A and B are shown apart, each in its own frame.
Chain A
């Protein structure tokens, strides 16, 4: 039987390795974005014993049309969750921990204090570098400051798609607000590696992608990842196009020309895909350029 998807969207799973990650997360009552978003890279990442933890529950207060994370009434924040995340990072012996959350528009600080607590706990219990992928906190600068004060090694916020497609794909978000988050972080925390991610295959043009990359670069953002949008279910937005690996290579070349310190543009790239490698490579570039942390 012929596969309907292009061969470049082929992944491998070893269920023993995947289940080992699930068991650790379940044992510590933690959620991973790998599982909740149905990430296709779970087989690859579990082979390396890696996972991206998703704090503040598994119910998101937003209902983005591309995302497989459940939307609904959110759970009360668990004050012990940051310690358990750090415990998981320690047990997995991660050298670079990536933490994200569902969007919590119901919380006064959007969950910023939980991010801060997780960073503190990981630093206390391990020597891992820490990357946080934050929501837009509805543009609340105090909330962003709460995270910045803990000096994460990488601070990410995803623009997700080109400006024109926001009303379709991210109706509760604002393109300029997401750019504003990136700019605010870079302006107020210039030593941070600031990172964003976006999807292609939703019907955007190449010119629109390049416009997005230029807009992002103008905020001072250092790192980016770009990957193929993959429809989680029939209830989500359709894939308009499977973008070829060659086009992704063109985007990576564009990113380098625009001055990004690092870019992972690959059909299977997601925001935390090869995150440790991207961070370390970018750090090396920064050191070579004579910039200090």
Chain B
């Protein structure tokens, strides 16, 4: 099943964040708990983990892009 991973609200009131680094690439199989990407919030560098096993289909934003909370970041196959 195809799904879209979106920018999570990592901190109360967070509206957007810069995607600093991708830790996966298209075609890669990813296990639950593996790091998908990093963002920088006011307080920390936050690495976001895969919530389930998945295969990465497409990355929708580039490193350095500022992305709103809830906006699509990547397409994956669950």
Give the B-binding residues of A (Cβ under 8 A): 1-5, 7, 9-16, 35-36, 38, 40, 43, 68, 230-233, 268
Contact = CB atoms under 8 A, between A and B. Distances in A.
Contact of B44 (A14, A35, A230, A233): A230
B45 interface: yes
Contacts, number: 72
B7 to A, nearest CB: 10
B47 A12 contact: yes
B44 A11 contact: yes
B51 A14 contact: yes
B49 A13 contact: yes
Q: Which 4 pairs from chain A and chain B are nearest by CB?
A: A230-B43, A40-B44, A16-B51, A14-B49
B38 interface: yes
Interface residues of B, number: 24
Given A3-B40, A38-B12, A11 B51 contact: no
- The majority secondary structure among interface residues of chain B is loop
A9 B45 contact: yes
Given A3-B40, A40-B41, 15 more contacts: A1-B18, A1-B21, A4-B40, A7-B45, A12-B48, A12-B49, A13-B47, A14-B48, A36-B12, A38-B42, A38-B43, A40-B43, A43-B46, A68-B12, A233-B42
Contacts of B48: 12-15
A53 to B, nearest CB: 16
A11 B48 CA distance: 9
Contact of B40 (A5, A16, A36): A5
B10 interface: yes
Interface of B: 8, 10-13, 18, 20-21, 33, 35, 38, 40-49, 51, 63-64
A5 B63 CA distance: 16
A232 B46 contact: no
B44 A9 contact: yes
A21 B2 CA distance: 27
Contacts of A1: 18, 20-21, 63-64
Nearest to B19: A1
B72 to A, nearest CB: 15
Contacts of B46: 10-13, 40, 43
A68 B14 CA distance: 12
A10 B47 contact: yes
A11 B20 contact: no
